[in-house]
Chain A
Amino acid sequence: MDDIAIAAHDLRCRYGDFEAVGGVGLAVRRGELLCLAGTNGAGKTTIVDTLCGHRRPVGGRARLLGLDPARHRHRLAARVGVVPQDPGFAGGLTTEETYALWTRLRGHRPHRGLAEAGLAHRRRVPVRQLSGGERRRLDLAIALAGHPPVLLLDEPTAGLDLEARERAWTLIRERRAAGAAVLLTTHAVEEAETLADRYVVVHGGAVAAAGTAAEITAGLAHRITTVVPARLRRLEPPRLRGQATWRELPGGQAELVVTTPEPGADTAALRGWSPVPLDRLAVTPPSIGDVLRRLAGSS
């Protein structure tokens, strides 16, 4: 049996003359979580929509469990859980009715999903009265119903408060551990870093980087931050491999930030340079968020 549950090969999608996705490839194995990251308008939602079967690509191919989603939407319904970017609920039905309806339409029996998503106390409330975050939780509850082997989650934690986000990540983590292939888009890439096995970073409709977080961020600068007395600015600058910037703080203090490819050497250099112990010293490795910031800055 093919281990790859979600696949896109040279995927190309257009809106009229505008090429939203131009040759994207990705593959997600069972039990793996791939984070599709990108700046706004990078083409993430178009890729998810195409994988859901909502649109046919103008080139390349998409496959879910070996099937073309545009041709086999109905066969895939029970085996693919989707959190779309926009909810798509009728506001006049209650939370419970909405959960039951969409779970049944996907071919499953409604079961404890509302409680798992923390919505049991809102089950009799019309969907139009739910907050954006609560609707997101309802979406996730519907997507997870029936333990589908494939999950396509477009911004599943958008609008959620901290507790709800943690609950959502826990649910997603459990499903991945149970063998589901998960494709996730999110703006909370820092949070997703604790979860994602691999990333595909898209920019301008094309793949800008792909691999594990370590592979993608290799070669990017670390950040060293520390707080020192502001008077140290008058000393001869430390001999660093990276670049240092200062920010004045109240009480005669200053924050020193060093962006460097060699954090060990520069931390040692800072320690040797400062006549006083370095306060609140922290070394932050590069993140996927840094990659996105660079891409956003480059465009």
Chain B
Amino acid sequence: MIGRLMSLVWAELTLLRRSPLAVVNALLLPLALGVGWLLLAENTGKGTDGDTTAMQLLMLLSFTPYAGVTTALAARRADLVLKRMRTTALPPLAVISGLAAPYAVLTAGQIAVLTALHPPPRWWPLLVTAVTGTVLAVALAFATAAFTPVPELAQLTTTPGVLAFFGGGMWLLHTGDASWPMRAVPGVPVAELARAAWQDGTPIWPALSATAVLTTAAVALAVRAFRWEPRR
């Protein structure tokens, strides 16, 4: 089982590596935007380290595990690869994990690079953010892929999700504190969790709960709407 899963992960990583557009979108663009945001924050002197890291994380999550996985899923479905996957010895959850794993690993690497630039005083909230944020982004990607018939349309169908991540973060930066309704926007609880790495004593359970609820909702939507083969 592990061997088969690793074969799938390796194949997906190979496809990612060989696609210049995917490399730019999933690797270079989020890193460049993250570094750009850091320079902007340092030049303007606005926002705390926590705010900067939160925005960098949201950019990463928007591009790499969210838009990247959505595009990959739409492409594999259009190529009938997903349909074929169902007749393999891998159960659906393993197929999904195998397809998303390279993007998750890439996200982890990008987070490591960006946080190394200015490490937080508390590591564990940042780790929690990375894990829960990636899971939420992948779950949203599966839900979005259900409405993305071809990979070319992914740029369009992921726009609301990217805005929900990025806009949510901006909203939190603007208001300072999050209310419960605000936490319904995916970027808000993720940014809240990331900021907690720099804010000693800040409770993370409201943001963690909101992330869990959003992830569950995205998974439920994906299970209901996701298709393994193109519509006939």
**Cα distance A82–B80 in the bound complex, in angstroms:** 14
Residues of A near B11 (CB, < 8 A) are: 90, 93, 97, 101
Do B90 and A54 have beta carbons less than 8 Å apart?
no
Residues of B close to A52: CB separation below 8 A: 87
Chain A residues with CB under 8 Å of B18's CB are: 92
Report how far A102 CA is from B11 CA in the complex, Å.
Answer: 10
Per the bound structure, the CA–CA distance linking A73 and B76 in Å amounts to 20
- Find B89's partner among A53, A74, A86, A101 (CB 8 Å cutoff): A74
The B interface is mostly helix, strand or loop, or mixed, namely helix
Residues from 83 to 105 in B contacting A, C-beta threshold 8 Å: 83-91
B90 adjacent to A105 (CB under 8 Å): yes
Q: Complex: how many Å from CA A87 to CA B81?
A: 8
- Size class of the contact patch on chain B: 20 to 34
- B149, chain A: closest CB distance, angstroms: 16
Interface size on A, residues (CB 8 A): 27
B92 to chain A, nearest CB (A): 9
The answer on a CB contact under 8 Å between B85 and A105 is yes
Q: Which chain A residue has the least Cβ–Cβ distance from B232? A: A15
Q: A87-B80, A92-B18 are in contact. Are A54 and B86 (CB under 8 A)?
A: yes
Q: Is A88 an interface residue (CB 8 A)?
A: yes
Instruction: Decide: A93 and B14 in contact? CB cutoff 8 A.
Output: yes
Contacting pair A89 B79 (CB below 8 A): yes
Instruction: Give B1-32 interface residues, CB cut-off 8 Å to A.
Output: 3-4, 7-8, 11, 14-15, 18-19
Question: A221 at the A/B interface (Cβ < 8 Å)?
Answer: no
* Min C-beta distance of B9 to chain A, whole Å: 11
Closest B-chain residue to A104, C-beta based?
B7
Q: How far is the CB of B51 from chain A (nearest CB, A)?
A: 39
Q: Quick check: is A77 within 8 A (CB to CB) of the other chain?
A: yes
Interface residue A219 (Cβ < 8 Å from any Cβ of B)? no
From A53, A104, A105, A106, name the one whose CB has the most chain B CB atoms within 10 angstroms.
A105
Task: Tell me which of A52, A82, A97, A101 has the highest count of chain B C-beta atoms within 10 A of its own C-beta.
Answer: A101
Chain A residue with minimal CB distance to B12?
A90
- Which B residues lie within 8 Å of A105 (CB)? 4, 7-8, 85, 88-90
A283 → chain B closest CB, angstroms? 45
Task: Tell me if B229 counts as interface (CB < 8 A to partner A).
Answer: yes
Task: State whether A86 touches B87 (Cβ < 8 A).
Answer: no
Cross-chain contact B87 with A77 (CB below 8 angstroms): yes
When distances are taken between beta carbons in the complex, the residues of chain A under 8 Å from B91 are 74
Residue in contact with B86 in the complex, picked from A73, A89, A101, A107, CB distance below 8 Å:
A73
Q: Give residues of chain A (97-111) contacting chain B, Cβ–Cβ below 8 Å.
A: 97, 100-102, 104-107
On whether the beta carbons of B81 and A89 are closer than 8 Å, the reply is yes
Contact status B87-A53, CB under 8 Å: yes
Complex formed: what's the CA distance from A281 to B81 in Å?
A: 52
Among A80, A84, A107, the residue within 8 A (CB) of B4 is: A107
CB distance from A63 to the nearest CB of B (A): 16
Q: Which residues of B contact A141 (CB under 8 A)?
A: none
Residue of A53, A77, A101 touching B7 (CB-CB under 8 A): A101
Contact across chains for B14 and A78 when beta carbons are under 8 A apart: no
Interface flag for A264 (CB, 8 Å): no
A-B contact pairs, 10 of them (CB 8 A): A53-B86, A74-B88, A77-B89, A86-B80, A93-B11, A97-B14, A102-B88, A105-B4, A105-B88, A107-B4
A-B pairs with lowest CB-CB distance, top 6 = A88-B80, A88-B84, A105-B88, A77-B89, A107-B89, A104-B7
